[in-house]
Amino acid sequence: MSETELPEAPAPEQDELDEDDRLRPEFVDAVRDAVADGDDEAARALVEPLHPADIADLFELTPHEDRGPLAKALKDLLDADVFAEMNDYVREDLIDALTPTEVADLASELDTDDAVAIIEDMEEADQRAVLRALDPDDRAAIEEALSYPEESAGRLMQRELIAVPDHWTVGDAIEFLRGHEELTTDFWEIFVVDAGHHPVGTCQLSWILRTPGNIAIADVMKREQTLIPVDMDQEEVALRFQKYALISAAVVDSANRLVGMITVDDIVHIIQEEAGEDTLLLSGAGDGDINEPIRLTVRTRLMWLVVNLGTAMIASSVVGLFESTIAGFATLAILMPIVSGMGGNAGTQTLAVVVRAIATNQLTDSNTRWMVFRELRIAAANGLALGVLIGLGTFIVFGRTDLALVIAAAMFTNNITAGLGGVLVPVTLDRMNIDPAVSSAVFVTTLTDTMGFFSFLGLATLWGLHA
Amino acid sequence: MSETELPEAPAPEQDELDEDDRLRPEFVDAVRDAVADGDDEAARALVEPLHPADIADLFELTPHEDRGPLAKALKDLLDADVFAEMNDYVREDLIDALTPTEVADLASELDTDDAVAIIEDMEEADQRAVLRALDPDDRAAIEEALSYPEESAGRLMQRELIAVPDHWTVGDAIEFLRGHEELTTDFWEIFVVDAGHHPVGTCQLSWILRTPGNIAIADVMKREQTLIPVDMDQEEVALRFQKYALISAAVVDSANRLVGMITVDDIVHIIQEEAGEDTLLLSGAGDGDINEPIRLTVRTRLMWLVVNLGTAMIASSVVGLFESTIAGFATLAILMPIVSGMGGNAGTQTLAVVVRAIATNQLTDSNTRWMVFRELRIAAANGLALGVLIGLGTFIVFGRTDLALVIAAAMFTNNITAGLGGVLVPVTLDRMNIDPAVSSAVFVTTLTDTMGFFSFLGLATLWGLHA
């Protein structure tokens, strides 16, 4: 393919990015080398063609100690848009080195939601200094946003939006948009409001473009609209956007007045984070951000591990009950971890499915009972299959029918325990308004460990197994 | 708040939905009861005010055997939009009961991407029958979409889009949009193409609305655009939408000609699925869909469990090496699962973080070495803390310094193993182009189980521990 045939084919960033849109290691190294050599011009020339999201990635891929020099070299290429795209920890790292006035300058270039994201994590005193350095309008908007709870719609929304009165025509609206230079261009729908500034309808821009100017806007707008209460949690906002395939939505206060707008591009990373965080929470890795200061990471993970150490000791004390049985027949110690471990695996499967189903609103009070029976049937089928397999395996290796029968029965029992626990633990936690992703795994594995040891060693003791 | 003050306050669906936008169980029961009583009118009256996404949810919350009667009762309330919102398995369930002509009628009402979603999972023969029943234009569009690989951009895109030549003015574009009734209204940007139908720029509708008619469209459009190759995997498409905050994007064929458009509302559920699936894949629960036929679920989960049974037996054979040590000192059997289990927990934490970081393009070749060191430092810190804790605990319970030192050393060793394995296993699999979420956990837990048993029992044997 020649350049003349397809003038637009090679996108400007294709040299820096690999096929997965990630910055190539050679490119990252080239920038680092330029900065290390003090050749700021070369570094800037390399970075200049990048999209702000890629410049943000570049900072994330740069070790902590090299970020300051990189920022100095890039100067104004590190602009507000880049900060808006950056990982929270990396941004904090860089923001810490700026004066309040510099931060205020950045914030004033951004929509409210992005400005809030930059300012909300600062120390109280720094935050106040930045707010003082902002012009009064921006300050008021940001202070209002900060008055809403963290991770609520009020923090996510932007105040820049287009609202028109419900008595206007389509032509009025177009004239208004053309006549006011200062209006935002970052909108996809316009909101129609009544005299009390309550939203009464939403209009896609395509409808406005395709309708003659003399038609009343009230005849074009869609009256069934999905409004977002300003104090709604961002996870619910994300689910609502997803469920109703929204591009933007009006945010209303408790008196149902239009106070802001959320657009889907601010929601996609929340959808991604919220959906991905279950993986991390279930494993006790906290928010699992690789840019988090290592001290925080150790604290989060260690807390979880210590809790698990406690429960592991409880499960082990069950083994202690049967110490004399094991002393008389050490083979039991070889097989025992298989029963507990397989129960843990089966329980984790059920848990993952149930936690996801709760998070995506697929599992509700209407189908919980059905779900319990579903998991019980799966557990019975798998327990039977695994029981037969481990029974056969045990018979082949150790040549003892009694041992084979005991382990098969224990395996079946522990699978049923895992299936039941895997549903009931997260469902119960959810009903108690505890996030099931955070603490279910501890309960379920304690259950399967304990039951695994108890059923296997208990049956062996009852049967009187010995070497 | 009175109705007159806030005429728009109670959204029509508020009675049927709870505060999390889920259908209330009482509402679901009321519909079910009406259908069971043969009172179709009552059922329809209840369901009529619902959004298509909620009607789809209603079917998902209804047990398999009651879905047919519900569909009969609701008649045309179960329309194409509802099918487009429905879980794949539930939709298949209902579609199976329809004639090819009925399916074709549904498909012709939808955008290509939604029509393809309905048709792509049908049996070969049924699919052909439906395609025959479609009018030629729809058939051609759907057949072309089906020619692209599953889960590629070609399946996701819609052919309905607005493209205008690059020599037009803004006024020409508006006139064109107003003059052609048959054009889609489901668009947020228009694409500007050259004579060869190659996209040369993208125009947000807000820019068009705010620009005087005599300005050339080429002066308004944005030239840096993110194009999606038609064969790109949907996960990459989703990451690209997210990274560049896209609302819609042009899809191009291998000759860089505009062939379709993807809009963000079709992407949000992919972002959610792809981000959430790691939780399920790591646990070996497959795609974890609660509507999947139980037989498929059992097969998926059992396969994973059998693999794990194999690796558990390998790990247990390590215990077998030390049978005589255990026979001489059964307390080792009590403590042994703590060491292996805690290694498993720590390994799972690292694994979850690394798998997410790979999936979100945060971990690349540029920072892998840094990540390995990061996890090693965390593992060393946690291993030290846990070693001290379990050492102390063991000394308190069993009153033996030798046993306490052995278990502390084994705990530390296994944490380091977990940290290293937790990074290196998924990174290696990813470089081999194997999805690290699918198979990492088996390797890592086998590693931590084996190393846990080996280090603890090995050290105990070396030290000559006995009762």
Q: What is the CATH number of the domain that holds A31?
A: 1.25.60.10
Same domain? B185 vs B308: no
Q: What share of chain A is helix, strand, coil (3-state, %, to 5)?
A: 65, 5, 30
Which residues on adjacent β-strands are paired with residue B222?
A: B202
- Say yes or no: B134 and B244 in one domain: no
- Between chains, do A298 and B355 touch, taking CB under 8 Å as contact? no
Instruction: Take residue A393 and report the two structure tokens written for it.
Output: 């395996």
Residue B107 near residue B131 (C-beta atoms within 8 A) = no
Same domain, B152 and B170: no
pLDDT at A302 over 80: yes
Helices vs. strands in chain B: H and E counts, helices first: 21, 6
Contacts of B393 in chain A (CB under 8 A): 313
**At A258, phi and psi to the nearest 5?**
-70, 120
B358 and B434 in contact (C-beta within 8 Å)?
A: no
Residue from B272, B319, B443 to probe the interface with A (highest A Cβ count within 10 Å): B272
- Scanning every residue of chain A, which has its alpha carbon at the shortest distance from the alpha carbon of B379? A298
pLDDT of the residue at B2: 39
Q: Where are the alpha helices (DSSP H) in B399-435?
A: 401-431
Beta strands in A231-388 (DSSP E): 248-252, 258-263
> What CATH number does the domain containing A392 carry?
1.10.357.20
In sequence order, the 6+-apart residues with CB closer than 8 A to the CB of B413 are B383, B451, B455
- What contacts A418, CB < 8 A, 6 or more positions away? A343, A344, A346, A347, A350, A379, A444, A447, A448
**Closest to A30 (Cα-Cα) out of B284, B55, B366, B49:** B366
Q: A337 and B241: CB-CB below 8 Å?
A: no
CATH number of the domain that B257 lies in? 3.10.580.10
A371 is a domain residue = yes
| Residue B185 touches chain A, beta carbons under 8 Å | yes
Predicted confidence (pLDDT) at residue A2 exceeds the cutoff of 70 = no
Q: Find residues 424-453 of chain B whose CB sits inside 8 Å of chain A.
A: 445, 449, 453
Q: Are residues B390 and B451 in the same domain?
A: yes
Dihedral angle of Cα B290, B293, B294, B296, to the nearest 10 degrees: -110
Radius of gyration of chain A (CA): 30
* The last residue of a domain, from among B156, B187, B217: B156
By C-alpha distance, which of A371, A340, A356 is closest to A445? A340
In a domain, B110, yes or no: yes
- Does the CB of B335 have a partner CB in chain A at under 8 Å? yes
Residue type, B251: V
Residues B218 and B328 in one domain: no
* Residues β-bridged to residue A228: A251
Residue A246 falls inside a structural domain: yes
Q: How many CB atoms lie within 10 A of CB B141?
A: 19
Residue A46 forms part of a structural domain: yes
φ, ψ at A211 (rounded to 5°)? -110, 140
Which pLDDT band holds residue A14 (cuts at 50, 70, 90)? low
- Residue length, chain B? 467
Q: What does the pLDDT look like over A159-173, one tens digit per residue?
A: 889 999 999 999 999
- The owner of tokens 């063609």 is A49
A5 in a structural domain: no
Q: Which strands form B189-193's sheet, in the order they lie side by side?
A: B163-165, B189-193, B199-204
pLDDT computed for residue A10 by the predictor: 40
What residues are paired with A202 via a beta bridge? A191, A222
Tell me whether residue B237 is in a domain: yes
**Would you state the pLDDT for residue A449?**
95
- Residue B162 backbone dihedrals phi, psi, to 5 degrees: -110, 120
CB contact under 8 A, B333 and A326: yes
Q: Which 8-state DSSP code applies to residue B193?
A: E
pLDDT at A110: 85
Residues 237-276 in B contacting A (C-alpha not used; CB under 8 Å): 239-247, 255-256, 264-265, 267-269, 271-273, 275-276
Q: Do A338 and B61 touch (CB under 8 A)?
A: no
Q: Which of A315, A345, A346 is nearest to A456 (CA)?
A: A315
Tens digit of each residue's pLDDT (9 = 90 or more) over A234-283: 989 998 998 888 999 999 999 999 999 999 988 988 888 888 888 899 99
Structure-token pair, residue B168: 């037009």
SS3 A112: helix
pLDDT at residue A13 is higher than 80 = no
pLDDT for the residue numbered B10: 39
Residue A4 has pLDDT above 80, yes or no: no
pLDDT at res. B65: 87
* Contact state of B337 with A324 under an 8 Å Cβ cutoff: no
Quick one: closest CA in A to B87, which residue? A362
- Domain total in chain B: 3
Residues A190, B46: Cα–Cα separation, whole Å: 31
Give Cα B275 to chain centroid, integer Å: 5
Between CA A404 and CA A394 the distance in angstroms is 5
Looking up tokens 């406690």 gives A310
Mark B92-125 as b/e (b = at least 16 C-beta within 10 Å).
Answer: bbbbeebebeebbbbbbebbbbbbbbbbeebeee
pLDDT for the residue A453 = 97
| CB-defined contacts A:B, below 8 A | 401
DSSP string, B61-78: HS-HHHHHHHHHHHGGGS
In the listed set B206, B234, B266, which residue is the last one of a domain according to the structure?
Answer: B266
CB contact under 8 A, B301 and A206: no
Same domain, A84 and A143: yes
CB contact under 8 A, B341 and A308: yes
**Does pLDDT of A346 surpass 90?**
yes
Interface test with B, best of A290, A339, A360 (most B CBs within 10 A): A290
Note the pLDDT tens digit of each residue in A434-465: 999 988 999 999 999 999 999 999 999 999 99
What is the distance in angstroms between the Cα of A117 and the nearest Cα belonging to chain B? 16
Q: Are residues B261 and B146 in the same domain?
A: no
Domain C-terminal end among B131, B156, B181: B156
Contact yes or no for B21/A239 (Cβ under 8 A):
yes
How confident is the model over A85-129, as pLDDT tens digits? Answer: 899 899 988 888 888 998 998 888 888 888 888 888 888 888 999
User: What are the residue ranges in chain B where pLDDT is below 70?
Assistant: 1-14
Residue A4 lies in a domain: no
From the CB of residue B75, how many other CB atoms can be counted at a distance below 10 Å?
11
* DSSP for residue A410: H
Q: Indicate if B167 and B245 belong to the same structural domain.
A: yes
Say if A197 is an interface residue toward chain B (CB within 8 Å).
Answer: no
> Which candidate, A106, A59, A98, A97, places its Cα nearest to that of A79?
A106
Let me know whether B186 and B256 are in one domain. Answer: yes
Residues 129-168 of B with CB under 8 A from A: none
Tell me the pLDDT band of A6, cut-offs 50, 70 and 90. very low
pLDDT at B112: 84
Rounded Cα distance between A407 and A383, Å, is 11
Give the list of residues 6+ apart from residue A415 with CB closer than 8 angstroms, or none. Answer: A342, A343, A346, A379, A380, A382, A383, A386, A387
The pLDDT tens digits of the residues spanning A135-155 come to: 998 899 899 999 999 899 999
Does the distance separating the beta carbons of A256 and B25 come in below 8 Å? no
pLDDT in tens, A371-409: 999 999 999 999 999 999 999 999 999 999 999 999 999
**Residue from the list B269, B285, B320 with its beta carbon closest to the beta carbon of A242:** B269
Is A232 within a domain?
yes
Residue A5's pLDDT is 40
Largest CA distance in chain A: 95
Cα gap B438→B283, rounded to integer Å: 8
Closest CA to B20 of A239, A69, A182, A92: A239
Which A-chain residues 60-89 have CB contacts (< 8 A) with chain B? 60-61, 63, 87
Q: Are residues B295 and B435 in the same domain?
A: yes
Residues A232 and A350 placed together within one structural domain of the fold: no
* Partner-chain residue, chosen from B199, B272, B357, that has the shortest CB–CB distance to A290: B357
Residues of the domain holding A237: 163-266
The ipTM, to two decimals, is: 0.86
Q: What is the pLDDT of residue B113?
A: 85
* Domain co-membership, B133 together with B195: no
Q: Compute φ and ψ for A17, nearest 5 degrees.
A: -110, 145
